Amino acid sequence: MKKFKVGLLTMSDGRPYLHNLQYDMNMGYQKQIRERLEATGLVEVVEGSAPVNSNTAAKEEAMKLKDAGVEMTIFNYAIWCYPQYTAVATNFAPGPYLLFCNIHPSECGMVGMMAASGSLDQLEKTHTRIFGSILDDAVLAKVMQLIRASCAVGRLRGLTYGNFGGRPMGMYTTVANLAQWQRMFGIDVENVEQYEIMQYGNKVEQEKVTRAREWLEAHVGTIAYNDTNFTPAKLETQIRSYYALRQIIAERGLDFIGIKAHGDLTDWYITMDLAEAFLNDPYDWDGPHDPIVAATESDMDGALTMQLLKVIAGTPVLFADVRHYEKSVDCWFFGNSGTHATYFAGGSMDPDENLRHVSLLPESKDYPAGGGSVHHFAAPGKVTMARLARKGDQYYLTIVPGEIVQFSEEKMQALGATATPAWPIAFTKCDVSADEFIEKYPCNHIHGVYGDYVEELKYVAKILNIPVQILK
């Protein structure tokens, strides 16, 4: 994933003698912030050429950041500085905005930051304040949380979502308002007929398909072919579907997608499970690739949530049904026939590590066209789950911290058999009671990534100016 591109401007005093007196100290703090952020390996900093000490300088330096294509701007306050300069700069410097001040008892950096913040409040410009030394790991963590959130929201703008097939099985929660998406997130929607998957798939060279099938047979733990709904020919049709989707995505300039699949392709052509899994994975049989968010059941708000999580975490994102709560083990079964990337089988970027835990099993009877389901039990680890949803026209964000757990292989197989044995499952303990989860979680689909990203998601809600609920 490309580095986060961050602008950095240091604000100064408008009185020339004080500006000059504190010039070196100001630039020293700016250098410290730049070096600390770039040392993470995740950030590219575009910094101002000098501390801002006039309206003219505020405009010129901010324009440089805009021209450089930064994704958000940090304003640095080490001394007292005129708040008007921050106000002027925000007319040109790309947001979101972080106001950051170092702790320097003999100087008035915090006063300068608070004055600038009050000015932005009056101008109704959303921003966040953080104070402390950037050398402090806890402070750096806060700054990085905001950077990840800011860039995740910013990177939505200009994206195109590919909607293959439309609303599935009557689900209102999978459909979004196209005008609202463009207005709030800057996302366009391209509708694509699922028939194109079949047509493009039929044109894929047999040599490519054979090579992919043989790679899967060599790397996947178990492939349970039968004589009816899951044959080598069926698997090759699934591979053709994957190649077809990659080609359509490339030709139409799609950035993330959703596929209806159920009730159409699953009845008459093939299940999309394999294609969705390997789109969301960081690899396929041709080598590494950047994960492409692909939501099953053409779930638009689900795909949007996944796209945000992908940028925040830099990893593939889980998509699952809220399938079942098993009281005996205080555990949720989160699983779905499609979209469950093989990455989650081992939690690794190494396909060999993940695929040895994967089985391709005959699809359930609910999918007459057949094909293989990508079965595995998700690797254990702390997870952050989330969902963007709407009440009326009002978006809100639900965050659910939790932990994916595993039991003995025998027990997991027994538990999985009570649901749909061929489907992947993430056995998940949530940090909220089952009753409260059921009462407050907004829909049937859930999305998540390994790690703790609660604070990043809270920043996302703040930047989007939407309510947030944390279920914990």
In this prediction, residue 364 carries a pLDDT of 85
Which residue has better confidence, 123 or 173? 123
For 39, 51, 102, 441, the CA distances from 135, given in Å and listed in that order, are 11, 21, 10, 39
| pLDDT at residue 108, as a whole number | 86
The class that CATH gives domain 160-470 is alpha beta
User: Residue 105 — very low, low, confident or very high, per pLDDT cuts 50/70/90?
Assistant: confident
Which stretches does DSSP call E strand in 327-455? Answer: 331-335, 359-362, 372-375, 381-391, 394-404, 426-430, 445-450
User: Which pairs with CB-CB distance under 8 Å and at least 24 residues apart come from 247-251?
Assistant: 247/200, 248/162, 248/192, 248/196, 248/197, 248/200, 249/162, 249/292
Same CATH topology for 4-154 and 160-470?
no
Q: Considering the chain, what is the average pLDDT of its residues?
A: 96
Q: pLDDT tens for residues 325-384?
A: 999 999 999 998 878 899 999 999 999 999 999 999 999 888 999 999 999 999 999 999
Phi and psi angles of residue 404, each rounded to the nearest 5 degrees, phi first: -80, 135
Q: Please report the pLDDT score of residue 468 as a whole number.
A: 98
Query: Where along the chain do its domains lie?
Result: 4-154, 160-470
Sign of CA dihedral 218, 221, 226, 228: negative
Phi, psi (degrees; rounded to nearest 5) at 63: -65, -35
pLDDT, mean of residues 149-166: 96
Task: Tell me how far apart the alpha carbons of residues 362 and 147 are, in angstroms, rounded to a whole number.
Answer: 44
Residue 118 has pLDDT above 80, yes or no: yes
CATH topology for 4-154 is Rossmann fold (3.40.50)
CA gap 98, 80 in Å, rounded:
17
Task: Return the bridge partners of 128, or none.
Answer: 98
What are the angstrom distances between the C-alpha of 7 and each of 71, 304, 412, 467? 7, 26, 49, 28
* Number of C-beta neighbours around residue 233 at 10 A: 10
- The string of pLDDT tens digits covering residues 13-44 is 999 998 999 999 999 999 999 999 999 999 99
Residues 362 and 449: their CA atoms lie apart, in Å, by: 27
pLDDT given at position 291: 97
Q: How many residues does the chain have?
A: 472
| Residue 74, pLDDT score | 98
What is the pLDDT, as a whole number, of residue 459? 97
